[in-house]
Amino acid sequence: MVDQANFDREKLNLNVARLKTHGITFEAVIDPDNAFRFLQGEKVDVKDIIKAEDIYTDAHKGTLASETDLKNIFHTSDPVKVAEHIIQEGEVQLSAEQRQKIREDKHNKIVDAIARNAIDPRTNTPHPRQRIVNALEEVKFKVRETASVEHNVGDAMKLLKTALPIRLEVFNYSVFVEPKFSNAVISYCKSIGTTKNEQYSSDGTLSLEVEFPAGMLNEFTDKLNSLTHGSVDIKKIE
């Protein structure tokens, strides 16, 4: 943190996180390096990101946001909590190199999400990851830095459908496995999707149903065969 006197002297070199909502602009003064680490997923205390415990409507002019607006819009007047929201949801002033790194990381997460959740409806099998990467380049998809991965996936899918036969889908499969592999199989199935109807027969054979992203089908079958040395019965539930 810096004191107010130092803050006033540094106004010309401010880096801010900015969020426009409800017709009002809210700004928090930030340390761009710590903000970058935070946005990359590192555990950084928000107090180490903000350089003044105030929320502004114009940080360069020193115009403070009203406490009433903070409470009405963010449901708190705590500047640290409001600043965290602004940093996560708004536009953060970073260097060109930092912004490029964020775009690249988010792009990879978008591709991973599509590869995990989408299939080629002609074959009901996942698209190879590189095919998705190539198609996104072909349709000139641009990452929205301030939008979530989920929202970016929605944007990407609209464009991809002009270049690829593709749809988002989940699969439901039944799994039957002998007792000695049941714990490992249940643990894995729960890690990739939602399980239900877990039952044991009189001889201890486990049966369950698992719902998982369609793009994970190859991993699903390969992993279960590996865990059970091939002694697993897997059937798609139509």
pLDDT per position as a tens digit, 76-102: 999 999 999 999 888 888 888 888 888
pLDDT value at position 95?
A: 80
The per-residue pLDDT of the chain, averaged, comes to: 89
pLDDT value at position 97?
A: 85
pLDDT per position as a tens digit, 32-54: 889 888 887 789 999 999 998 89
Burial 21-33 (b: 16+ CB within 10 A, else e): eeeebbbbbbbbe
Residues 6+ apart with CB under 8 A from 88: none
> Model's pTM, two decimal places?
0.59
**Dist CA 166 CA 45 (whole Å):** 41
pLDDT value at position 13?
A: 64
**Dist CA 202 CA 28 (whole Å):** 63
| Predicted confidence (pLDDT) at residue 2 exceeds the cutoff of 50 | no
pLDDT value at position 89?
A: 87
Domains of the chain (ranges, CATH numbers) = 4-92 (3.30.1250.10), 96-167 (1.10.10.900), 170-236 (3.30.70.240)
pLDDT value at position 102?
A: 82
pLDDT per position as a tens digit, 129-162: 999 999 999 999 999 876 778 888 989 999 999 9
| Predicted confidence (pLDDT) at residue 7 exceeds the cutoff of 50 | no
- Strand extents, DSSP E, 140-201: 167-168, 170-177, 194-200
Neighbours of 64 (CB within 10 A): 14
Q: Tell me the mean pLDDT in the region 104-116.
A: 92
Looking up tokens 């990879």, which residue turns up? Answer: 108
* pLDDT confidence tier of residue 238, bands split at 50, 70 and 90: confident
| Predicted confidence (pLDDT) at residue 215 exceeds the cutoff of 50 | yes
pLDDT value at position 12?
A: 47
pLDDT value at position 14?
A: 82
Measuring CA to CA, which residue among 219, 220, 213 is closest to residue 113? 213
